Amino acid sequence: MELGIKTRIIILMVASALIQASSKDVGQQLEDSLDELIPTLLACRKLAGVSIAVVRGMETIFIKGYGRVDLDEDDAVTKNTLFGIASLSKAFTATLLGKLLATSKQRYTWDTSIRSILGNDFYLYDRIHTENITIKDLLTHRTGYPSYNSIRHQSALNRYRLVQKMRFLKPTLPFRGQYKYNNLMYGLLTYLTELIGGDTWENLMNRHIFEPLNMTSSTFIYQIELARKDLAKSYKVDYDGNLRQVSPQYHSYWGKIGGSGSVVSNAVDISKWLKALLNKGKAEDGSDVIPEEVIQDCQKPYESIRVSSWDIAYLRPAAPVSYTHFSYGLAWRIGFYRGWRTIHHTGTSMGYLGQITLVPDLGLGIFTSLTGDDPGYTSRRHIHYMLWIC
């Protein structure tokens, strides 16, 4: 269903109110506005739960949950409700690897070839890929491989086997010829991170990112107890047009290639992640967790995102309020909105619908996680482009 005129008017009212708001009462204004908007969204879209965090500098200016954890129960979504964050995990993968590279004493860089790390164990379809593919090629989706996503469902797959299997996959585009989103390459990065870091990817993530940032609730979809009451159930629209719960076990398949989309987190923890990204890698207590240059490297535009018929309208904004994303960094999309540089990513996996938007020049970070159906990212975009103006 299209957003009704009432919702559109609310969005416009909220946007203009926020432009005028002082920093002091902006949190309250956000709450007043969202308390009106989100129930409308929940009613007119196929959504079950919504979680939102907005940070400015080192301050959380808004954090709240809406809707229900489980449509068959009464539990409300709160700021502590856990969600699969799907491809929002990729920025964690890139940042962890960057931190390990930064401390590898120049042995490896983003431009190190995979072959020089994995040795003769690693080969791909042809010579150029085998010899030349680098860490940065994997992170920026410019390897020339199509997605081959269905491989992720093979029950015997593990990280090492994925590396072995990749030699049988055929690239369909020229090497470094074009941006082509690829989850499997983040599986390869997961394996590489384990080799470089000398531990499981999960342990490394805990030790280098989650623990020092005090992200105490964050974990992985295949490690969490799936029946937990504080884990939002994910939903898809079924043939009858109604929301139907996705089997929780389904998500655990994807874990095999962890780095592409396996992190589970909540608004409280992600607000800490946003603060670190906006404040030179510092935790809330002021300690240095992520090297500043790693954050900067990840947010540089490396690979141009080609225009498709779907997003051609966004490259040159038809109206000043349009948004663009024209380039991919290391697990971030880079673009503009209303003239401000934005760093964003979405995470979409069988009923978990996430988005992070950073506006570094305003010190602003926004996280939303939804459960349900969000075709064309419209609900997430409505919320993000409304909120960031604060």
Ligand X SMILES: *[C@@H]1O[C@H](CO)[C@@H](O)[C@H](O)[C@H]1NC(C)=O
CA 346 to each of CA 45, 190, 259, 356: distance values in angstroms, whole numbers, following the listed order: 18, 20, 15, 7
Please state the closest distance from residue 131 (CB atom) to ligand X, in A: 5
Per CB under 6 A, contacts with ligand X among 309-368 are none
Q: What is the spatial distance between Cα 2 and Cα 4, in angstroms, rounded to a whole number?
A: 6
Nearer to ligand X, 87 or 265 (CB): 265
Per CB under 6 A, contacts with ligand X among 198-237 are 214, 216
Q: What is the spatial distance between Cα 328 and Cα 139, in angstroms, rounded to a whole number?
A: 9
Look at strands 340-349 and 352-359 and give their pairing: antiparallel
Tell which residue, 266, 372, 346, has the closest CA to residue 43.
372
Among residues 78, 109, 132, 327, which is the contact residue for ligand X, using CB under 6 A?
132
Nearer to ligand X, 199 or 284 (CB): 284
Among residues 268, 370, 383, 386, which is the contact residue for ligand X, using CB under 6 A?
268
Residue 59 binds ligand X (CB under 6 A):
no
Please state the closest distance from residue 216 (CB atom) to ligand X, in A: 5
Per CB under 6 A, contacts with ligand X among 164-203 are none
Nearer to ligand X, 133 or 166 (CB): 133
Nearer to ligand X, 83 or 337 (CB): 83
Q: Tokens 């290639």, residue?
A: 257
Please state the closest distance from residue 282 (CB atom) to ligand X, in A: 12
Please state the closest distance from residue 317 (CB atom) to ligand X, in A: 35
Please state the closest distance from residue 324 (CB atom) to ligand X, in A: 30
Amino acid at 315: L
Count of residues engaged in binding ligand X, rule: CB under 6 A: 7
Do 262 and 253 form a contact (C-beta atoms < 8 A)? no
Among residues 59, 126, 131, 292, which is the contact residue for ligand X, using CB under 6 A?
131
Q: What is the spatial distance between Cα 130 and Cα 198, in angstroms, rounded to a whole number?
A: 23
Please state the closest distance from residue 229 (CB atom) to ligand X, in A: 18
Nearer to ligand X, 114 or 204 (CB): 114
Nearer to ligand X, 78 or 200 (CB): 78
Please state the closest distance from residue 377 (CB atom) to ligand X, in A: 29
Do 320 and 340 form a contact (C-beta atoms < 8 A)? no
Per CB under 6 A, contacts with ligand X among 278-317 are 284-285
Amino acid at 386: M
Nearer to ligand X, 135 or 353 (CB): 135
Residues that bind ligand X (CB under 6 A): 131-132, 214, 216, 268, 284-285
